[in-house]
Amino acid sequence: MTMNLFDSMGGIEARQEQLGPGATVLHRHAVPEETALLSALRDVVAGAPFRHMVTPGGFHMSVAVTNCGSLGWVTDRTGYRYDPIDPVSGLPWPRMPEVFLALATRAAARAGFGEYVPDACLINRYVTGARVSLHQDKNEQDFDQPIVSVSLGIPAVFLFGGLNRADRAIRVKLTHGDVVVWGGAARLRYHGILPIKEDHHPLVGDHRINLTFRKAA
Ligand code: MD6
Ligand code: FE
């Protein structure tokens, strides 16, 4: 099902696409804030630089990550967890910028999840060839809280599977400004990102940034 809406976004088409119960793509929803988001991102990264974390299996992730908010998602040889402290700096993660929080809350509401106040924002940076294999997001305490995912920069193909790893996955192209909100019946669906194709975005450069908001605690 696809609904076409024309927002008052300076002629930019804001298409809202349902990927099944609980999962919505708000195409181009973050475009009006692109400059403010990228400027806030630079401040976050100045305090907590991108790094390639190690998975419990001992592999370096091809995606570089950092966090902001009171909790940050981390992985190392001992497993995945949310931690209030950046293990690289030994300091709390940078505060979540107001423009991040406002966007996440607004997008969640638009998709039917009211009063969403995330406490964690995982930031992923993809260069050409980087990928994320199929996984579930299940390190959070309360699966009634949705996840809001913002794509910036060069495009990606998002794999969106079912509740079992072997379920067939659909492919959704995510481009600059697209916001995916998922919760409810979709909250534990497997998902991933196919290897990123070489491209260039005028504002972001040769990579893709993904902001994933969660209510972790
Ligand atoms: C990404 N996203 O888009 C990877 N997880 O770069 C995720 O793994 C993800 O987009 C949970 C909810 C939304 C997501
Ligand atoms: Fe995920």
pLDDT score recorded for residue 1: 46
Tokens in use for 190? Answer: 């497997």
3-state SS assignment for residue 54: strand
Number of domains forming the structure of the chain: 1
Determine the distance separating the centroid of ligand 2 and the alpha carbon of 165, expressed in angstroms: 13
pLDDT at site 166: 95
Q: What is the mean pLDDT of residues 21-42?
A: 97
* Cβ 180 vs Cβ 149: under 8 Å: yes
Give the whole-angstrom CA distance, residue 92 versus residue 87: 9
Determine whether 21 is exposed, middle or buried from the number of CB atoms within 10 Å of its CB (0-12, 13-18, 19+): exposed
DSSP letter string over 7-33?
Answer: -SSTT--EEEEE-STTEEEETTTTGGG
Provide the pLDDT confidence category of residue 9 given band limits of 50, 70 and 90: low
Residue the block writes with tokens 């349902």: 18
**Cα distances (Å, whole numbers) of residue 190 to 52, 58, 203:** 22, 22, 30
In this predicted model, what pLDDT tens digit does every residue of 84-130 receive, in sequence order? 999 999 999 999 999 999 999 999 999 999 999 999 999 999 999 99
* Residue 131: partners with Cβ closer than 8 Å, 6 or more residues away: 62, 63, 192, 193, 194, 195, 196
Per-residue confidence at 11, pLDDT binned at 50, 70, 90? low
Q: Which residue has its alpha carbon closest to ligand 1 atom 3?
A: 210
What is the residue-averaged pLDDT of the chain? 94
82: phi then psi, degrees, rounded to nearest 5:
-100, 135
pLDDT given for residue 13 in this prediction: 65
Q: Which of 10-19, 53-62, 88-97, 170-179 has the lowest mean pLDDT?
A: 10-19
Checking if the pLDDT of 43 tops 70, the result is: yes
- With cut-offs at 50, 70 and 90, classify the pLDDT of residue 12: low
Which H or E element spans position 193?
A: strand 191-193
- The model's pTM is 0.93
Supply the residue whose CA is at minimum distance from atom 6 of ligand 1: 210
The rounded percent of the chain whose pLDDT value lies above 90 is 93
The CATH number given to whatever domain includes residue 58 is 2.60.120.590
Contact 17, 25 (CB under 8 A): yes
Q: Rounded to an integer, what distance in angstroms lies between the CA atom of residue 60 and that of residue 62?
A: 6
List CB contacts of 168: < 8 A, sequence separation 6 or more. 161, 162
Return the closest-CA partner of residue 181 out of 120, 104, 72, 99. 104
Indicate the residue type of 92.
P
Domain that holds residue 18: 2-214
Q: Are strands 191-193 and 132-135 parallel, antiparallel or unpaired?
A: antiparallel
Q: Is the CB of 145 inside a 6 Å radius of any atom of ligand 1?
A: no
Closest residue by CA, ligand 1 atom 10: 149
Cβ–ligand 1 distance for 24 under 6 Å, the answer: no
The confidence band for 14, taking pLDDT boundaries of 50, 70 and 90, is: confident
